[in-house]
Amino acid sequence: MNVDALKSLLETFGPSGREEKVRDKIVELIKNLVDGYRVDKLGNLIAWKNGTGPNKKRILFDAHMDQIGVVVTYKDENDFLRIEPVGGIAPQVIYGMRLNFDGTIGVVGVERETSEVYKENLKNLDFDKMFVDIVTSNGPNIEVGSFGVYDAKPIFAGKKVMSPALDDRIGCAMLVELLNVVDNPYNDLYLAFSVQEEHSLAGASVEAFDIKPDIAVAVDVTASADTPKADKRTSMIMGKGPAIKVMDSLSVSNVKVVELLKRTAEDNNLRYQMEVLHMGGTDAFGIERTAEGVLTGALSIPTRYIHTPSEVCNLEDANEGVKLMKILIEEEITF
């Protein structure tokens, strides 16, 4: 995994619907490694590399460019802002946090007229009771409709990385890395860097309609149940390899794709684990229901503290996932 590429993607502003800067960065990283690329009307970046096999299939790997964020809904006479989450942000996670509105930085405060109100508000934190206080003055002017994200820097420590937006810049970095390592593709490789996964899955639905792949795999993060008193119904853990998704709350992966991923990992001695997630969902849900239907699965990187400013994952899991994708592109696939 190219750590510099991942770091620069993690540091780039890109909430759902405002992915342009992330897309520009990815174009720079991949433009010399592909046979072609285009940007569709919704903003998805679609890139491809042609295969040479006589029985080649069209394989799509997808990762979403957008990250969770907030949008400004109201600005009072003293310029304090009210906000609404864009994607899954819990109010408990952002009290006291810095938010970055594409260069302008603010902090999240809470209403506290009396000690009793303050205590009560902390106990039942809600966006109704919180506001943003813009502190810096050198960024863009903030108004109703401005988007913000967590303001926190990525930290790399050995195999671990901690950062906001690992969901799903780790997936984007894996797709970029795949282009760097794939040689002589047997199958047609399509990569989609999608928009708006955290909000509506709109990007995934239209990209798959456009590409019409034989097989699609969404590459994203999933829960990691290896912290004190973690979710006992979840078995994915960091460091055990990428997880082959069987099901989440939005979709059941196609059984042929699950078996293909499993068999490929086993035949090549790659580490993997199985994933059943009793919540959440990925671009796989948008892809599978497109056109006449798409054989779709997902490959997930177990990640702690998802949707907080400090998501943590293991780079080895991502590297192992890239190896698996490389084999799928370089070998003939038979069902």
Binding site for Zn ion (CB under 5 A): 167-168, 220
Q: Is 36 helix (H, G, I), strand (E, B) or coil?
A: strand
Neighbouring C-beta atoms of residue 84, cutoff 10 Å: 11
197 counts as catalytic: yes
Neighbours of 115 (CB within 10 A): 8
Name the minimum Å distance from CB 268 to Zn ion. 26
Cβ burial, residue 260 (10 Å; 0-12/13-18/19+) = buried
Nearer to Zn ion (CB atom), residue 44 or residue 104: 44
- Residue closer to Zn ion, measured from CB, 313 or 324: 313
Q: In 3-state terms, what secondary structure has residue 116?
A: helix
Question: Minimum Å distance from CB 198 to Zn ion?
Answer: 7
Residue 30 phi, psi dihedral angles, 5° rounding: -110, -15
Closest CB to Zn ion among residues 67, 104? 67
DSSP-derived 3-state class of residue 46: strand
The residue among 168 and 275 lying less far from Zn ion, judged by its C-beta, is: 168
Is residue 249 exposed (0-12), middle (13-18) or buried (19+ Cβ within 10 Å)?
A: exposed
Residue 157 tokens, joined:
């420590």
**CB of 236 closer than 8 Å to CB of 273:** yes
Cis peptide bond N-terminal to 188, omega within 30: no
Question: Which of 177, 197, 275, 316 does the annotation list as catalytic?
Answer: 197
Helix (H) or strand (E) holding 304: strand 295-304
In the structure encoding, which two tokens stand for residue 216, read together?
């699609």
Q: How far is the CB of 239 from Zn ion (least distance, A)?
A: 20
Give min distance, CB of 132 to Zn ion, in A: 24
C-alpha distances in Å from residue 26, one per residue of 9, 165, 324, 329: 8, 15, 21, 20
Residue 234 CB, nearest distance to Zn ion (Å)? 16
* Closer residue to Zn ion in complex, CB, 62/220: 220
Q: Would you name the residues annotated as active-site residues? A: 197
